[in-house]
Amino acid sequence: MLAASLALVAGLVLLVGGGEFLVRGAVALAEKAGLSQLLIGLTIVAFGTSAPELVASIEAVRSNAPAIAWGNIIGSNLANSLLILGLAAVIFPLAVERKPLWRDAGLALAVTAMLYLGALANLIGTVAGIAALMLLAAYIVFAYFSERASGAAQKEARAAASDGEENAKTTPLWRSVLYLIGGLAGIGFGGEWLISGAVDIATYFGLSQTTIGLTIVAIGTSLPEAVTTIIAAMKKASAVALGNILGSNLFNLLLIGGVTALAAPNSMPAELISFGLPYLLAITVIMLFFAVTHYRVGRREGGVLLALFVVQLVFSVHSA
């Protein structure tokens, strides 16, 4: 049990640290190649903060534990929407931009609904996986050209950058490559240790793999999004804080869900069909309702989201 706990904690640390170094190295190399900040944010940074969830899910499927993979996807989106958005709103009320809201939150709602209906019909297989990856590619292209027309997003993105962070353009090439390699190695080993420890703990306590995925694995792999969003909220960069959550949710559903559907077709656990997915669908509607009400998510709404996260945790553990 001790070994499993240490493996889980070490895996989480390596995943989060590896994701951070992966983003640093990739952004530095991308800027040296002349890519725009906006394109980097929509692709490399978004992928980098989702890398822990992706690696953990792939490792779960490889370890014949697809329930952890799906629990991680649904649980990460719940953690993003309830825990992280709730904390960010409590720290500083978040103003909402209308155009990105309907584009990103609207698509997240539609994809969540399609995933739920597909799971009910047992259609989350190879075709659905390919469709999800194609939709993600289309979304990135559309979002890029949509945001390119407005300089506001780029200004807020620069405002949300961490104090004292190295300027990517001045980072030596060797250090950028080292960051990239170290980040890849970190998330690789971290994912393996995390899933190994999670499976052992689930077995020891008699918990289902789905419950472990919905709670420990999901919260742990959401830490990069948590750090980015909370820093953005503290810097009063509302668009970045909310956009990071919505973007991460879409990457989780389309990228990680698509890969999981391809690697383990029709493996959606019954526990997620009966509770996790409908709860996520309801939370997505609530989050969208809060956002369109005066186009802000205030401290009161943040408190409600945090309370709903506690409800989810209690129900998940109680029903395990």
Give the residue, 118 or 23, on which the prediction is more confident.
Answer: 118
Give the residue, 25 or 253, on which the prediction is more confident.
Answer: 253
Q: What is the pLDDT of residues 157-204, one digit of tens each?
A: 444 444 444 455 567 888 888 887 888 788 778 877 877 887 788 778
CA distances from 242 to 22, 44, 206, 251 (A): 22, 18, 37, 14
The answer to whether 78 and 284 have CB atoms below 8 angstroms apart is: no
| Cα–Cα distance for residue pair 181/172, rounded to 1 Å | 14
The answer to whether 159 and 23 have CB atoms below 8 angstroms apart is: no
CA distances from 179 to 11, 18, 21, 47, 167 (A): 18, 9, 5, 16, 14
| Whether pLDDT at 237 is above 70 | no
Residue for token pair 């506001």: 152
DSSP string, 173-197: HHHHHHHHHHHHHHHHHHHHHHHHH
| Cα–Cα distance for residue pair 61/300, rounded to 1 Å | 39
Give the residue, 132 or 171, on which the prediction is more confident.
Answer: 132
Q: What is the pLDDT of residues 79-90, one digit of tens each?
A: 999 998 998 889
Q: The pTM is what?
A: 0.80
Count other C-beta atoms under 10 Å from residue 165's C-beta: 9
Within 13 A of 288's CA, how many CA atoms are on the CB side?
Answer: 18
The answer to whether 190 and 57 have CB atoms below 8 angstroms apart is: no
User: Nearest CA to 254 among 146, 122, 105, 130?
Assistant: 130
